[in-house]
């Protein structure tokens, strides 16, 4: 049976990643704007982090759970990867034509707020799922092992710490992207922080739900790892990279050198953590 305290802990971890999005508004306390070059680099950084977390964290962990042949691993993780991609594709199809525009937040009526929340869920929920499934080993034993780490008196899976850190870092450039149009409207700095955090609130919800279900049905754990990885990798290909290239369109070489540098730094940051 899933212990309530564990679900609460996972929700708090997901909420921590949501709070990290608010850090994206902090630069606007000191600067009026962020250059397109740095914005492209930040999106590249987020892309490198998310792909690294998906491949070296979720997919490898799913393969370790299966502990069989490559065919066995593919059969267990593959359907989850496909389902994660389908979730994002279907979400975008359902919300097609409804652009996420933070400029409209302050004037949104109830119907518009519901629509905005739906769009935010498509983007943030899979990231919350990634956090939730990474906590799957939580509470299986209080004795520290090579796969756990002690933080604040709690024995936590290393993968959970890795994914929470990865999603939190990734959320910072998302917070920047949300804050830029709000700045152009003259929205106050603290309100920008609030809306940045609001944009990631589906993450703690997704984290708690995912953790609850993978612990109830542990045989679906590889599917859960694949699901989260597929959704995040597709988000990078469908959202992050095109967004960065749009922002860098006026830069030399279309911003590709900055994007490549950001991706490389993101991978360099996360790969060592994956093999601790």
**pLDDT of 82:** 92
pLDDT tens sequence across 10-59: 999 999 999 998 888 888 888 777 788 888 888 888 788 878 878 887 78
**pLDDT of 96:** 61
Q: What share of the chain is helix, strand, coil (3-state, %, to 5)?
A: 80, 5, 20
Burial of 52 (0-12, 13-18, 19+ CB in 10 A): buried
**pLDDT of 16:** 92
pLDDT tens sequence across 146-184: 567 776 667 787 878 888 888 888 788 778 767 776 776
**pLDDT of 25:** 86
Listed residue (45, 88, 43, 96) closest to 249, CA to CA: 43
Grouping H, G, I as helix, E, B as strand and the rest as coil, residue 168 is helix
The whole-angstrom separation of Cα 92 and Cα 24 is 24
Give yes or no for a contact between 177 and 196, defined as CB atoms under 8 angstroms apart: no
Q: What are phi and psi of 244, to 5 degrees?
A: -65, -40
Confidence of residue 1 (pLDDT cuts 50, 70, 90): very low
DSSP E strand stretches across the chain = 148-151, 154-157
């Amino acid at each position: 049976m899933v212990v309530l305290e564990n679900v609460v802990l996972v929700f708090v971890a997901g909420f921590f990643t949501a709070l990290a999005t608010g850090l994206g508004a902090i630069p606007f306390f000191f600067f009026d704007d962020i250059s397109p070059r740095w914005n492209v680099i930040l999106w590249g950084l987020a892309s490198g982090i998310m792909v690294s977390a998906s491949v070296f964290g979720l997919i490898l962990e799913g393969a370790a759970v299966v502990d069989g042949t490559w065919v066995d691993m593919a059969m267990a993780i593959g359907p989850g990867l496909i389902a994660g991609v389908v979730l994002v594709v279907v979400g975008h199809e359902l919300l097609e034509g409804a652009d996420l525009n933070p400029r409209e937040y302050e004037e949104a009526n109830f119907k518009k707020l519901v629509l905005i929340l739906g769009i935010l869920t498509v983007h943030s929920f899979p990231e919350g799922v990634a956090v939730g499934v990474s906590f799957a080993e939580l509470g299986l034993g209080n004795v520290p092992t090579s796969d756990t780490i002690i933080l604040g008196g709690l024995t936590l899976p290393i993968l959970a710490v890795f994914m929470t850190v990865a999603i939190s870092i990734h959320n910072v450039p998302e917070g920047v992207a949300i804050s830029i149009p709000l700045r152009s409207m003259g929205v106050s700095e603290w309100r920008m922080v609030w809306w940045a955090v609001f944009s990631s609130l589906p993450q703690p919800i997704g984290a708690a739900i995912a953790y609850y279900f993978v612990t109830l049905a542990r045989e679906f754990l590889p599917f859960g790892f694949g699901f989260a990885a597929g959704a995040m990798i597709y988000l990078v290909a469908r959202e992050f990279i095109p967004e960065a290239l749009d922002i860098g369109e006026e830069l030399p070489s279309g911003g590709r050198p900055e994007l490549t540098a950001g991706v490389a730094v993101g991978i360099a940051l996360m790969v060592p953590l994956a093999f601790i």
